[in-house]
Structure 1
Amino acid sequence: MASEAILKYLVDTNRPYSCADVTVNLRGAYTKTVVQKNLDALAESGKIKCKLYGKQKVYAAIQLDNQEAENDVEDYDALFKTLTETLAEKSNGLKAAETTLKTLTSAPTTTSAKSQIAEARTRIESLEAKLGTLRNSTEVLSADEKATIMNAHDTMLREYRKRKRICSDILEAILEGYPKTKKTLLDELCIETDEMVDFKLMSN
């Protein structure tokens, strides 16, 4: 009978199979419909076990040591859970260690830091000496030198105002079709106005 043949096959192989697997492995001795009907009947009678994985049914024979096998499976499940948690913990620890290592390797060494500090102090001393010289200087600019400097300043001032006006005109043209505020546009373009940074021109 089909039922006996299917049961013997599951017991002998001692592996879980779907209905399609059993049908193929019995080399077409029975149709898939017959195999499915007998598998369900064997499962209902308690001779085999049936488990549902998604939409697929999987069948397996109930061996004499089935209880031990079930306990063994439960032990493996617990072990798998423990190992998974341990792996996650170790992975997090590794990430933290890598971050710390990256921070340490990017920081200057003690020797390098001392060298940078010495260079900074030397530069500060040089600038302070230069500043002291300028403060105590009694040299007076000639009229020609002063005129040259003032003319250059005026030229730069006119060019600055010209470019600022052009920039303002462009922004106003953009704002005519821009759906947001002027501040939002400036933020998106990373533009800072004189007013935003409290910049004031020194007049002559």
Structure 2
Amino acid sequence: MTRKLLPILALTVLAAAMGTAQAEKADRNKPMNIEADALHHDELQQVSTFTGNVVLTKGTIVLRGAKLEVRQDAEGYQFGKVWAAPGKRAFFRQKRDTQPGAPEEYVEGEGEIIEYDGKKDDVRLIQRGQLRGYTGATLSDDITGNIITYNNLTDVFTVDGNRRATPGSEEAAAGSGGRVRAVLAPKTQPPQAPVAPSAQPLKPSDTMKSRNP
């Protein structure tokens, strides 16, 4: 199948480190659109495989890679798995909810494999994982680890730098990955509104003056 836009049903260490903003909650209810060079669909297994310059969008969520597999379980939840081209990393990006008037914030990440769990609504960056936070165009946080899990609903992420994995699994293929590394920028607190001075009680002398001008 040549390059086309394909609508798909919506996919049904520390929160404070990435700030108080949360991931865009409206993304959960948005349809998924996938652009690729080719598509193979297995109706029996309910699995669709997209290959060649794959771009997935779902609300503000963007996933890019060389291959994408989308499947659906018996409950109707869908799951996406993206593989990067050899020697490269797949890409993830999502806008975060912010207060009105505040600069836009984004979280983005990379990994050789990226998994999206529609039931938990989280993203896993596997092998050479990296998660970055941006305020406007300014990089505010930069986290690296072998396996990074980021939950879109709670805005909590976990990082494993030296993970024990099941032999033969993709996590095992990722290797130890070394230590977790993080650069976390301090968060600017909004200015506090001035507190109005409380009224001072009248002194007895003031009361007498008001009665006897």
Calculate the TM-score normalised by the size of structure 2. 0.24
Kindly indicate which of the two structures has a greater share of residues assigned to helix: 1
Kindly indicate which of the two structures has a greater share of residues assigned to strand: 2
Structure with larger Rg: 1
Higher relative contact order (CA 8 A, sep 6+): 2
Calculate the TM-score normalised by the size of structure 1. 0.24
